[in-house]
Amino acid sequence: MGLDNVSLTNYEDIAYHMKKLMHDESYVRYIYGMVESSNRKDPEETWYVIQQMIHISELKGYSSVQAWGSALAGGFYLDRGNAMAAYDNFLKAYEIFISEDMTEGQAYCCNGIMMVYNHYGQFENALEWGLRGIDMAEEHDLGELIFSISVNMASIFIDYEMYDQAESLIERFFMSKLYYNPETVILRNNHKARIRLAMSFEDDALELIERTEAIAVRNKVEGLRHLILLTKADILSSLGENTDAEACYRESYEYALKHKNHEKDEILKKWGLHYLRLGRLEESEQKLMQAESLARNSEKRFMLSKILTHLTELYSLKGDFRKAYGFSKMNNQIMSDILNSQTSEAIYRASEKNTQAAEKSYKELYESINVLAETGKKITSELDMEKINWILYEEISKLMKVDSVAICTFDEDSGYLDYEMFIERGEKIPGMKVKIGEKISFAEHCIARNCDILIKNSHREYMKYIPENNISTESQFEILPKSLIFCPMIFAGKTTGVVTVQNYEENAFSYTDLSRIRLLAGYISIAVENSRLYREARHSSTHDQLTGVYNRREIHSIGHAISQGLRKTDDPVSVLMLDVDNFKSINDSYGHHTGDAVLKKIGELIKKVFEGSGYAVRYGGEEFMIIIPGKTHEEVVHLAEKARRIIQETAIEIKSFIVSATVSIGVDIEDARSFNLSKSIVRADNALYMAKQGGRNRVVVTQQ
């Protein structure tokens, strides 16, 4: 980069310092400090200085200048979201610093590499490099670097919602007598404000972030203003100050664009989440999709996973279950990739240990985590809940002694815990439903307190979890397995159920086993959500959303399946056409909302009457069709009359008034051998017409 290619106010100062560096390699220490202080104030000037450092190192063969130039380039790239370029530069610098025995440079690179790994969602690797950097910095009393690494590590803990660890780390170094500059104070305060917000101390958080904003203005630290504004926007959003929050989100994003900061996806994600909380779904979708594109392009996998979680929730709220399921599947794959990339480092960590015992321990940990990772992938690739239960049972049996496993889902609307099934000693056992509030279940305790449970002997320990006045007899617990583990399943911040592993022997499980189940619970929560979304997507494609019966597209597939099943028999097949009488007058008198409520109720009644006997379809408007295989003439007429009578007798409550409705039904009955669905529909429709002409609220059967 030539001098004629830039326009800088400090050109003469830079030229002076570069000239001194040309003649004195040790002068790089001053240049390093200058770049660090100006990086977020004037990015253009910073990049120019870095390029000049690298150019001088090549001309003069200065290895330390080359190392610091590469390290500073890594920091510059990282601030702008180019993580791969940042990693290459940090690693290049780190190797030179090792060869030159320059501890400060090594610690600086550890700080940068830590943030690169966090960019890619690799928490364990990030933490390892950060701790390595702190160890070096503490050993050589590098106060400013200790503080910088600690602040960055705290931001990682905050990303993973580990607020106690983040606050402890910040306070430990802030209270010590270390040197810190305005930028680190701003970052520290910003993290503190985020922690206060997470703990619901919004007023404290707002007061702190406004003081921090003043520090940034006073010290002209423009490059961090977008972070301050983002935190302020989140606080205002939590306080319900929606107009001011939106203005801060917008200003934060504009600052990030201006300074080419890599947090643009974070800003858009939180802006989209703000709209999602307000129910402004179209605006939320726009922001979240922008954030998704940025995070995907920059390979920020942990960020992308969070965005995909919000998109799953968004499309579920919009009723677009296909898209919700699609984003949930993508999130599952990313989560799997993140875990795989982390677990592969377990052997690397083990190889650094000097003793055989430590190596053995790490090897066992590696093998265990890999089994769990593989189990997680198997579970999340399956959509059938019964198969998910079987996979869990078979894979967990490889890691610990189990007699029984179960997945219990929690329906907050109904207030029930639903064990669809247990798998006990290789056999499927029917499940059960438990009402929340009765306080007779370990699972309810687990969900109510969002906590894990490890029970060594349930026959002695049950009173810790079940109130004494809810226990009818102590013997009710004697049939339970003695050893129990319960772990809550969390999805998108909500408790969606419980995973339980059980053994009839006492003291069968350890805390290591609990940790394994806790890890798997994350996978299982994704699998359960995938299964739910898949079922809803399939249901919405085959069923009418208003009435809950099959939609018209399913008529021919139902008819074909029935014909194939009965074609070699003499069993009859019946088609009923049902129409709501005077439906137009209901709409005209009470409005379309009431009309929809009437259709919904009639759909429920039809499903109840014909459940197990036939297939109910919404044919169009206020008209329904029912296909009944294998029932006699008398049985079909009886069912039709029963449906007509129940609908007539049902008072449909809508807000402050009651509406009643009647239906007319036309019936056609044919032998399976001669059954033709299209012709049968026409005949049943003619019979319906006759029922209407005959005075409505009646059943008419076609004449054979």
The HSE-up count of residue 16 (CA atoms within 13 Å, CB side) is 6
Same domain membership, residue 574 and residue 449 = no
Are residue 645 and residue 519 in the same domain, yes or no? no
Q: Which two tokens stand for residue 335?
A: 């989560």
Q: Would 19 be classed as within a structural domain?
A: no
- Report CA torsion sign: 214, 215, 216, 218: positive
Give the residue from 481, 508, 535 where a domain finishes: 535
**Do the Cβ atoms of 101 and 89 come closer than 8 Å?**
no
Does 558 lie in the same domain as 530?
Answer: no
Of all helices (H) and strands (E), which one includes residue 486? strand 483-491
- Residue 359 and residue 350 in contact, taking contact as beta carbons nearer than 8 Å: yes
Q: Label residues 256-293 b or e (16+ Cβ within 10 Å = b).
A: beebebbbbbbbbbbbbbbbbeeeeeebbbebbebbbe
| 558 and 480 within one domain | no
Is the domain of 386 the same as that of 478? yes
At 581 the pLDDT is 94
480 and 564 together in one domain: no
Structural tokens at position 183? 């930028």
Count Cα neighbours of 580 within 13 Å in the Cβ-side half-sphere: 27
Residues 576 and 640 in one domain: yes
Q: What is the DSSP string of 363-396?
A: HHHHHHHHHHHHHHHHHHT---HHHHHHHHHHHH
Task: Answer yes or no: do 510 and 587 share one domain.
Answer: no
Query: Among all chains, which residue has been given the structure tokens 């998910």?
Result: 388
Q: How many structural domains does the chain have?
A: 2
CATH code (residue 387)? 3.30.450.40
What CA–CA distance (Å, rounded) separates 349 from 355? 12
Residue 315's alpha-carbon distances to 323, 326, 392, 537, in angstroms, are 6, 10, 29, 11
Whole-Å CA distances, 108 to 13, 27, 111, 142, 182: 26, 18, 5, 10, 18
Q: Could you write out the DSSP letters of every residue in 25-44?
A: GGGHHHHHHHHHHHTTT-HH
User: In this structure, what is the dihedral angle of CA atoms 224, 228, 229, 231, given to the nearest 10 degrees?
Assistant: 140
pTM of the model: 0.48
- Give pLDDT, residue 336: 65
Q: Is residue 353 part of a domain?
A: no
Same domain, 517 and 558: no
Say whether both 587 and 659 belong to one domain: yes
pLDDT of residue 180: 52
Q: Is residue 367 part of a domain?
A: no
- Domain boundary pick from 535, 561, 582: 535
Whether residue 409 lies inside any domain: the answer is: yes
Look at residue 89 and tell me if it is in a domain: no
The CATH number assigned to the domain holding 627 equals 3.30.70.270
Is residue 418 in a domain?
yes
What are the φ/ψ torsions at residue 629 (nearest 5 degrees)?
Answer: -95, 145
Nearest to 191 by CA among 230, 241, 155, 239: 155
Residues 504 and 416 in one domain: yes
Displacement of CA 605 from its chain's centroid (Å): 37
Per-residue confidence (pLDDT) for residue 261, from 0 to 100: 65
3-state SS class at 675: coil
Question: Which domain range does residue 451 map to?
Answer: 381-535
CB of 552 closer than 8 Å to CB of 542: no
What is the reported pLDDT for 575? Answer: 94
Is 606 in the same domain as 502?
Answer: no
The residue among 501, 535, 569 that closes a domain is 535
| Residue 584: inside a domain | yes
- Vertex 115, ends 112 and 116: CA angle to 5°? 90
**Average pLDDT by consecutive 10-residue portion of the chain (704 residues)?**
39 78 84 68 78 90 92 86 85 91 92 86 80 85 80 82 74 49 81 84 90 87 87 93 94 85 85 92 94 84 83 83 80 66 40 36 48 67 78 83 88 82 86 77 81 82 67 58 88 82 89 78 80 76 87 84 74 93 89 90 93 91 93 93 94 83 94 85 94 94 80
Q: Does residue 86 belong to any structural domain of this protein?
A: no
